Amino acid sequence: MIAIGLGLGVIKFSLLFVGMAAGMPAGLSSLVLQTQAIFTVIFAAILLRERPVRLQIAGLAIAALGLGLVAWRLGPDRPPLAFALVLAAAGAWGLSNVGIRRAAPGDMLNFIVWVSAVATPVLIGLTLAVDGPAADLAAIRSMSWRSVAALLFVSGLATLWAWAAWGALIRRHSATTVAPFSMLVPFFGIASAALILDEPVHATDVIGGVLVVGGVLTGAFAAPSRARNDARPDAGRDEGVRSDPAPVPPS
């Protein structure tokens, strides 16, 4: 819980928001962040011995090609350092996925609440050290209703509820099966950034997004379900996949 709280709640979100503050567009950040699926497959193979099948590897390669196509436009409006920070955030997310898969908590909402409780004091300490008490106090005093609404959305819906659902899926299925689906996020991120923030959408972004989704679908349909694996008598021995330490809840 402490490791996931630091990796997910502190490192991942800190690097993501710092990268956006350094110049990464919001829509593009949502796309680059999905390299977490690649990191998840790598970390799961090393730490959990979950071996991806060939079609999964091919799908992730296609998705990586799409992300690389978007990264090709790095420049003044897409600073390389900001890009690297968001990419590092994706690595922290991938490692956290493996941690959740290994922990296999029974109540994901309760687990995420405690993970957030671990991250909160560390984040408070970081903002006080980096920004200073005066700047933090001024930011709180100047909060508008939009800021409050954004805070409630990010903390309540996009963090507690979404991460509880995400973690429950990882617990019921292999990490390599669930992680690629997050690559569908860029379509929502890029579209909403274009509609709300007037961020430009380039042809390479569209082509890269199509490759990302194509790679996701290729890898996801190729991945065997944990539920099917667990039902087999040799589930814990086949291809190095360990058996689930916790019972799988009914559908």
**pLDDT per residue over 141-163, tens digit each?**
888 998 899 889 988 888 778 87
Query: H or E stretch including 191?
Result: helix 185-196
User: Could you say which residues of the chain have pLDDT below 50?
Assistant: 225-251
3-class SS of residue 143: coil
Q: What is the pLDDT of residue 248?
A: 37
Q: What is the pLDDT of residue 165?
A: 83
Task: Look up tokens 């058996």; give the residue.
Answer: 243
Taking residue 160's Cβ as centre, other Cβ atoms within 10 Å add up to 17
Q: What is the pLDDT of residue 219?
A: 67
| CA-CA-CA-CA dihedral for 217, 222, 223, 225, to nearest 10 | 100
Whether 176 and 41 have beta carbons less than 8 Å apart is answered as yes
Task: Look up tokens 């999964």; give the residue.
Answer: 56
Sign of CA dihedral 56, 203, 81, 159: negative
Whether 175 and 7 have beta carbons less than 8 Å apart is answered as no
Q: What is the pLDDT of residue 59?
A: 82
Q: Is the pTM of the predicted complex or chain greater than 0.85?
A: no
Burial level of 240, CB count in 10 A (0-12/13-18/19+)? exposed
CA–centroid distance for 143 within its chain: 27
C-alpha radius of gyration, the chain, whole number: 19
